[in-house]
Amino acid sequence: MKNWKRAAAIAGVVLLLLVFCLPMVFAFGDSDGSQAAFRGALAAAILVPVMAYIFLLGFRFFGRKKNVQETNRMIENIIFDVGKVLVEFGWEAYLKSYGFSEEKYEKIADATFRNQIWNERDRGLYEEEEYLRQFCAEAPEYAEDIREVMRRSPETIHAFDYAETWVKYLKNQGYHLYILSNYSNYMLERNKGEMPFLKYMDGVVFSCQVQELKPEPGIYQKLLSLYDLQPEKSVFLDDRAENCRGAEAFGIHTIQFRDFKQAAAELEKLGVK
């Protein structure tokens, strides 16, 4: 390949030199034919380099993009969890901002964010009011506070500083990007402003849309079949070990996310740069 490129470059240089020298051959002729040939050769000496430059720019732009996308990579698809990977889920600081007593804080936390109901809410089987009723039933003495805490619960979500830049970079490198995340309808409708990275995704599966949760097998199968993904060409990033194991059962490479630098380093080991 290198020899072919070198030969093409030499041939191009020789051709350009000939084009530049050609006008001189006709410059001193006296006949009408010589003058016409001179003008034609001069025009060629100007147009050929310009066209060559335009062709080179086009090749660099379109050729590079094609090469990035068509490279035979080990990993072609990168699948992201959202919470604690691309966005911060800071429920502890949020709940503490209410200034509750320690006892009240613990009871409300146990009734809501630390409760299995919170996870089931991500399945999206019922309207939000039903989940509120269930939360309140866990600590009825604090029902009014629980309703207010849940009403403002989207405030627990904030995009990490690196999230959009990271996703955009990977997209520009030619990777196909996807979301696979447990998320409730209520939170999703109110948090899209904190997810600017969604516009770079080739596909999205949220649990509330398919009524299945990670690490249940069905949600992974839906992602793979919906977007026709090859598991062995895919890597999944999630902060929870059990969710990673669920993906591994389908032959998907996984990275248990701890922080951006750790995840980027592990992606690089898989050839993702």
Report residue 207 CA to chain centroid gap.
Answer: 18
Query: Hunting for tokens 């919170």 — which residue is that?
Result: 118
Which residues are CB-neighbours of 203 under 8 A, at least 6 positions away? Answer: 178, 179, 223, 226, 227
pLDDT tens by residue, 46-91: 665 656 556 556 555 555 444 444 458 999 999 999 999 999 999 9
Nearest to 181 by CA among 202, 163, 207, 154: 207
Question: Is the peptide bond preceding residue 154 cis, with omega within 30 degrees of 0?
Answer: no
Nearest residue to 211 via CA among 112, 121, 135, 115: 121
pLDDT band at 174 (very low <50, low <70, confident <90, very high): very high
How far CA 151 is from CA of 146, 156, 193, 197, in Å, comes to 8, 11, 17, 25
Per the CB < 8 A criterion, the answer to whether 159 and 197 are in contact is: yes
H-state helical runs in the chain: 2-27, 32-58, 64-70, 91-96, 102-111, 116-121, 128-138, 143-151, 163-172, 185-191, 207-210, 217-226, 241-248, 260-269
Cβ 205 vs Cβ 224: under 8 Å: no
- What pLDDT, in 10s, does the model give residues 201-238? 999 999 999 999 999 999 999 999 999 999 999 999 99
DSSP 143: H
Q: What is the pLDDT of residues 97-109, one digit of tens each?
A: 999 999 999 999 9
> How far is the C-alpha of 42 from the C-alpha of 62, rounded, in Å?
31
* pLDDT tens figures, 1-47: 445 556 565 665 555 555 555 555 555 555 555 555 556 555 555 66
Amino acid at 154: P
Sheet of 176-181, strand order: 203-206, 176-181, 77-80, 234-238, 253-256
In this predicted structure, what is the pLDDT of residue 72? 80
Write out pLDDT tens, residues 123-143.
Answer: 999 999 999 999 999 999 999
pTM of the predicted protein model: 0.75
